[in-house]
A and B are shown apart, each in its own frame.
Chain A
Amino acid sequence: MRSRKVSPIEQVAVHGLLIIWLLISVIPFVWMVSTSFKGPGEIFIFPPRWIPRNPTFNNYIDLFQEMNFGRPFLNSVLVSLSTTFLSVLIATMAGYGFAKFHFKNKNLLFLFILGTIMVPGQITMIPVFLLLSRLNLLNTYWGLILPAIANAFNIFFMRQYIMGVPDELIEAAKIDGAHEGWIFFRIILPLARPAMAAITIFTFTGSWNNFLWPLIIATDESMYTLPVAVSVLGGQYTENIAMQMAGSVIVILPLIIVFLFTQRYFIKGITFTGMKG
């Protein structure tokens, strides 16, 4: 380790800069929460008031009673959880296959999958929309879930991780007569848990925040996901700022809570991606 005398002036300057960016990062959230508890009279007060004088829950109550925000909330939970579960499951299976199986053209097939990471979602949007409309899956849960299950990045991530599992473990099990399924459940799954945790969080975040897909697929109000419902709210009720802020809190807060509990895996996962990228 290098240790050097650091001047107090430098320490103050560095931490000062970090605190400035901290404020820039956090203030929009503080402002959002604060505004969401304001009554109609308090929004347009200038200079801005950081803490509402008469905090009220009415914006949240209205959101669920008048705007029926319960439905998009449940839709989002259902779609995100299903997408994440299925995506992590098949990515782990495929990752195991590409890491440990022996067959012809394995690496070629894998490169093929890797190539799809580079394809922007907008290019597949129109054909998939047509396919879903042909299958009568527009405005259905399957229409929202199916296209997002196969995730090339997740397969890549799991393959890289499972490659680190020692071959000896697998060979020993094979000598005892174990087949691939048994090895997967008894050896791979327990060892691959940290990587699965990372892609679980990434996939859930991506699904929860997904906007363009549901905007196209879920045109019926009963099928809106939270981001779509909030975007409509943002467009319609321009005079009711406090309710918009409450809507934003409903979308943002659950994910921040999930993140704060799982940030270790998040940061590990991103770091791992950067190393392999």
Chain B
Amino acid sequence: MKTPLRAIIGFIGPSIILLLIFMLIPIVVSLVISFTDFDVYAIYDWGRASFIGFENYVNLMQDPLFWRALLNTLYALVVAMPLTVVLALSFATLINREATYFKNFFKVSFYLPSITNTVAIAIVWAWMLNPDYGLINWFLGLFGIQGPNWLGDPIWAMPSVIMLVVWKAVGYNIILFTAGLQNIPDYLYEAAELDGASRFQQFLHVTIPSLRPTIFFVTVMTVIGYLQLFEEPYMLTAGGPLNSTLSIVLYLYRQGFRFFKLGYASSIAFMLFLMIFALTYMQMSARRSEV
């Protein structure tokens, strides 16, 4: 029983056409542009752009700011990802206990940062991180700790960005983890208990292995998301001080839409794409070899 072509075109057509125009063709075009010297003059007259082979990529490899952005982004990723996963899994485990009160209230409250507009809340964080009047240094002062000049100090700026990123991400992942925890059958725990496993051992040998798929999903999505770090450093520090919070996407935005070097920016975009692809692929093959 084949579906009439009219129905197929009518129902699936709009999505396919829009995805082609705004997703698939642009990927190819982006690759093409990355081999040209497309700049601000070419925007009004595309004929002014010419092919320059791999020149953008060669320049990129010799661009100290690109390496800076790459290292900064990886720094954020390496610190923020484990923090996010560990915090989210810990709180999900606490919420999921039978004896925990107000489960839904906690879940919903923890999720608030995740739906919040990053730009707007970053302004609030910038104010809380203010070295003289900020809430955070006031709080540290209660314990006699002299808080740093968070956003003004190249050493502390990236940790500030990471704080905001993790604060926003934990709640969403708590929900994913609680869903995963609820799917673990009770008899596994009962069996472990009969074998005399302590609760910590149960967590290690029952919970963690059963949660493998969820942990995998969370880490893959988190890596993809954190590699695209942009709004937090854009708002908190604009990439400063001394480029200490310059991220790959922030650098791409600067090159592409401040200086309108669209050819160069496209080569940055492609490098990012390759990195995301490579890291995702590595995680997938690591998972396959485990099974």
Contacts and interface: CB of A to CB of B under 8 A. Distances in A.
Nearest to B280: A118
A21 B127 contact: no
B8 A252 contact: no
Interface stretch (B63-71, B72-80, B152-160, B248-256): B248-256
Contacts of A248: 117, 120-121, 123-124
A255 B118 CA distance: 12
A195 to B, nearest CB: 16
Contact-residue size bin, chain A (C-beta under 8 Å from the other chain): 35 or more
B7 interface: yes
A102 B15 contact: no
A106 B35 CA distance: 35
Interface in B15-55: 15-16, 18-19, 21-27, 29-30, 33, 43, 46
Interface string B1-22: 1111001101110111011011
Interface of A: 1-3, 6, 11, 14-15, 17-18, 21-22, 24-29, 31-32, 35, 43-44, 46-48, 90-91, 93-94, 96-98, 101-103, 109, 113, 116, 118-131, 133, 146-147, 149-150, 152, 155, 174, 179-181, 184, 205, 208-209, 211-212, 215-216, 226-227, 230-231, 233-235, 241, 244-245, 247-248, 251-252, 255-256, 259-260, 263, 266-267, 270-271, 273-275, 277
Q: Which 10 A-B pairs have the closest CB atoms?
A: A150-B18, A127-B26, A124-B26, A248-B120, A180-B7, A271-B179, A127-B29, A94-B15, A251-B120, A97-B11
20 contacts: A15-B101, A21-B91, A28-B113, A90-B15, A94-B14, A97-B11, A102-B2, A113-B16, A119-B23, A127-B29, A130-B33, A146-B22, A181-B7, A212-B231, A234-B235, A245-B123, A245-B124, A247-B120, A252-B117, A267-B107
Given A109-B16, A130-B29, 19 more contacts: A21-B110, A48-B133, A90-B15, A96-B11, A97-B12, A103-B3, A109-B12, A123-B30, A124-B30, A126-B269, A209-B117, A226-B117, A234-B235, A245-B124, A245-B127, A252-B116, A252-B121, A267-B107, A275-B179
